[in-house]
Amino acid sequence: MKTFYRLSLRVCIAFIPAAVFQNVAIAQSMVSNTSEEKVPPYTLPDPLIAQDGKKVTSAAEWNTHQRPYIYHLFEENVYGRFPLTKIPVQYEIKETGKQALNGLATRKQVRIYFDAPARQVYMDLLVYLPASAKGPVPVFAGYNFSGNHTIARDPGILLSEKWIDARGKGVANNRATDSSRGASESQWQVQEIISHGYGLAVAYYGDIEPDNPDGWKTGIRTMMAGALQIKPEEWGAIGAWAWGLARIMDYLQQDAAIDAKKVALIGHSRLGKAALWAGASDQRFAVIISNESGEGGAALSKRWYGETVGIINQKFPHWFGANYKKYNDNTAALPVDQHMLLSLMAPRPLYVASAEGDQWSDPKGEFLAAKYAGAVYALFHKKGIDEDSMPGLHQPVGNTIRYHYRAGKHDVTLYDWQQYLGFADRWWKQ
C-alpha cells in the first residue's frame, strides 16, 4: 500500500482496524525500514492538547500546566526520573594554559567532584576560551566520546583515566594512550569556534557512566544513588549523562570568564539524545543543538523508518528508563513522540541536523519532529520551520527552530559547525 504524506499531526487512516496496526507494529519492531514507500500511517499526539482535552492557547498556559505535564510523560515513559536533589560539589583547577592552540586560546582543566568531601566521583571538564577575549564569552558545551584529549592535538590536555570503549582510536585495554590525542578533532573544530569569539567546554561522557550494560554499577547511578535520592533502575544512562550536562552548566555559571546566559548545548548521536533531554530538563541552556540524534532523540518514534524503539532497547538496554521497553512492539501506545520533546525547548533557539548517509537516524523523521514543534514555539511568537517539504542537501531552513540535511555520513563536520556558529551569531551578535 502506498502511503501519501501531509504535514499534520493526524496521519492515520481511520477505517483500518486497530488490531492490524498492532500486528504490523509487532512485526516491525525488530526490523529496520529505509523505504518511504513502506512507512505505514501513524498518529502523533498533539502537544497543545491538554490532559483534559482542551487546547493550550497561550505561553503562560504552556509553562504553567502543559509543559510540566509533557515533561512528566517523558520521565515516566522514556528517560526515567531526572533527579533534582542538590548535592555538595567541589571544583578543582587541575591545569591552566595561557598559550594554548598556538596562542589562540587559554585552556583550563577543571575536576568537578560530586561527592565532596570524599572526592571519589568526578568529571573532568576541559575549557577553551579565546585568548583575545576582553570579557565573559559565550560557550558551546557538550560531551565527547573518548576523552577530552581526543578533541584537539594539544599535548597539554590531560589523558583520561577512565574506561573507554576499545573501538576508540589509540585505546589499549580500554584505557587512553598518547596516540589517541586529537583522534576526534574533526568533530570539534576548536579553532573555528574560537575564531567566532566563542569558548568550548567539553567532558567525556564516560566520566558519568561507562557506556555499556554494566556501566551503571560503577557510574553515578550507583555511586551517587544515595546522595541523589534515586534508585539506579529509576533512570537510564541517557538520563545520567543529561544530569552531568546540567552539572557542567553549574560550573559555567560560576566562572567569571564565561557568559553563562549564552551557553549552547550540543550533542551528536547518543550524546544528542542526552543533550535534548538535558535541554528539556534544565532551561538554563540558551541554545540546544541536536546533531543526528535519531531514535530517542529528534526522530519520530511512531514513524517506522531507520532505528526503532525495539531495536534501540535491544542493542542498548541501559540507555532509557525501564518503561520505554513497554513500547518495543507498540509505539502506537506511546503517549508522547519526539516533536513533543523538541517542544520542551521553547522558546529557546533549537537546531536539528541530519545527514544523507545516516538513514538509520531517520532524517525525515527528524525534520518532521522539528517542523511539528513549531506549534509550541508559536505560542511565544517565535517562528519555526515554514517549509512543508524536506529540504534539499545543504539548504538549511527555519528560524528559531532550524534544520539542515547535509551530504555525508553519521558524523559532525565542518559544514555542521559553520551552520551552528552562524546560528549562534544570529542570537548572540545582534
DSSP 214-229: TGGGTSHHHHTHHHHT
- Using CA atoms, how far apart are residues 193 and 156, in angstroms rounded to an integer? 19
- The verdict on whether omega for the bond into residue 347 sits within 30 degrees of 0, i.e. cis, is yes
Residue 391 forms part of a structural domain: no
- Using CA atoms, how far apart are residues 124 and 110, in angstroms rounded to an integer? 6
Catalytic residue among 269, 293, 354, 361: 269
What's the confidence (pLDDT) of residue 391?
A: 98
All three cell numbers of 414: 565542518
DSSP string, 63-84: IIIIHHHHHHHHIIIIIB----
What's the confidence (pLDDT) of residue 5?
A: 36
114 and 234 assigned to the same domain? yes
Tell me, yes or no, if 354 is annotated catalytic: no
139 and 207 assigned to the same domain? yes
The whole-number average pLDDT for the span 270-281 is 98
The single-letter code of the amino acid at 177 is T
pTM: 0.94
Please tell me the total count of domains within the chain: 2
What's the confidence (pLDDT) of residue 420?
A: 98
Residue 395 forms part of a structural domain: no
304 and 182 assigned to the same domain? no
Residue 406 forms part of a structural domain: no
304 and 224 assigned to the same domain? no
The single-letter code of the amino acid at 140 is F
Task: Check if the beta carbon of residue 401 is closer than 8 Å to that of residue 350.
Answer: yes
75 and 138 assigned to the same domain? no
Residue 12 forms part of a structural domain: yes
Residue 24 forms part of a structural domain: yes
Task: Check if the beta carbon of residue 122 is closer than 8 Å to that of residue 134.
Answer: no
Per-residue pLDDT at 357 exceeds 80: yes
153 and 259 assigned to the same domain? yes
Residue 144 forms part of a structural domain: yes
- Using CA atoms, how far apart are residues 403 and 396, in angstroms rounded to an integer? 6
Tell me: the pLDDT tens digits for 9-68? 544 433 334 444 444 554 567 889 999 999 999 999 999 999 999 999 999 999 999 999
Q: Which domain holds residue 371?
A: 1-79+293-350+361-378
254 and 139 assigned to the same domain? yes
Residue 264 forms part of a structural domain: yes
142 and 277 assigned to the same domain? yes
Per-residue pLDDT at 165 exceeds 80: yes
287 and 297 assigned to the same domain? no
227 and 136 assigned to the same domain? yes
314 and 331 assigned to the same domain? yes
Inter-residue long-range contacts of 326-333, CB under 8 Å, 24+ positions, other chains counted: 326/77, 327/77, 327/301, 328/29, 328/30, 329/25, 329/26, 329/29, 330/22, 330/25, 330/26, 331/25, 331/29, 331/42, 331/301, 331/302, 332/21, 332/22, 332/25, 332/42, 332/43, 332/302
219 and 147 assigned to the same domain? yes
Residue 58 forms part of a structural domain: yes
How many residues does the structure list for the chain?
430
Q: Which helix (H) or strand (E) holds 98?
A: strand 90-99
Task: Check if the beta carbon of residue 114 is closer than 8 Å to that of residue 220.
Answer: yes
CATH, residue 271: 3.40.50
